[in-house]
Chain A
Amino acid sequence: MLDYVPGKTAWYEDNQPREGKAVDEIWIGDVAGSDVPTCSLTEPIGDIRRRTEGWDTCVVVDSKGIVVGLLRKKELDADPRATAEQVMRPGPKTFRPNVTLQELLKSMRDHEIQTNSLVTTAEGRLLGVISRADAEATLAHEQAAPTGTDS
């Protein structure tokens, strides 16, 4: 007998399929986008701003890809000579990929998160982001779909 120690959590973090009642749920790992810009702790804000033009979020990760901070528009507009570490919002709230869209939206509303939420593994490795607008729109679309369809 072999023990798959990482278990369900690791399976879902790898975006693998599931069976059971939860196939009818929308998990944020199903819909999060993975193309969010990242930067290191030591990168100057001016360089990050040039590299992430058009984004209002940049995720600060360490050398192992673990999320350590977040830059939103205010931080991206900070002194261009400052490093990400100096201006970042440390320890941002993150969500696991098997959180449902409803649970995410409730948390975003409760914490007044208007922009992006981060999806990470339990260890904090970045998997993707989901914007509140996208979450609201996806859920509204799903709830508007006729029962019994998979659209």
Chain B
Amino acid sequence: MAAQVFSVSEVKQLLDQGAQLVDVLGEDEFEHDHLPGAINIPLKQLDATTASRLDRGRPVLVYCNDFG
């Protein structure tokens, strides 16, 4: 996976260009708050089956809490 320190404006640009946003935090945390438009695939559940929800033709931008 390409780890990159995107700025907020770069993230917005990617989303405007059709990127999919994936929150890999737990379900409870996702339900509490997440970035607009994100879908939730908790990291522990991330496999070929769960990733099949994603459109292979569009970039996928994954996030968690922060650098930690």
A-to-B contact residues, CB < 8 Å: 1-11, 14, 16-23, 98, 122
Contacts and interface: CB of A to CB of B under 8 A. Distances in A.
Given A2-B1, A3-B4, A19-B37, 19 more contacts: A1-B62, A2-B6, A2-B14, A2-B19, A6-B5, A6-B6, A6-B66, A7-B64, A8-B25, A8-B63, A9-B65, A11-B35, A18-B33, A18-B35, A19-B35, A20-B33, A21-B33, A23-B33, A98-B33
Contacts of A19: 33-38
Contacts of B23: 8
B1 A3 contact: yes
Contacts of B59: 1-2
B61 A4 contact: yes
Nearest to B30: A20
Determine chain A's interface SS by DSSP, over half rule.
Answer: mixed
Interface of B: 1-6, 8, 11, 14, 19, 23, 25, 30-38, 59-67
Contact of A3 (B3, B32, B34): B3
Nearest to B8: A14
B3 A8 contact: no
A20 B32 contact: yes
A98 B65 CA distance: 12
A71 B25 CA distance: 39
Nearest to B33: A22
B10 to A, nearest CB: 9
Contacts of B67: 5-7
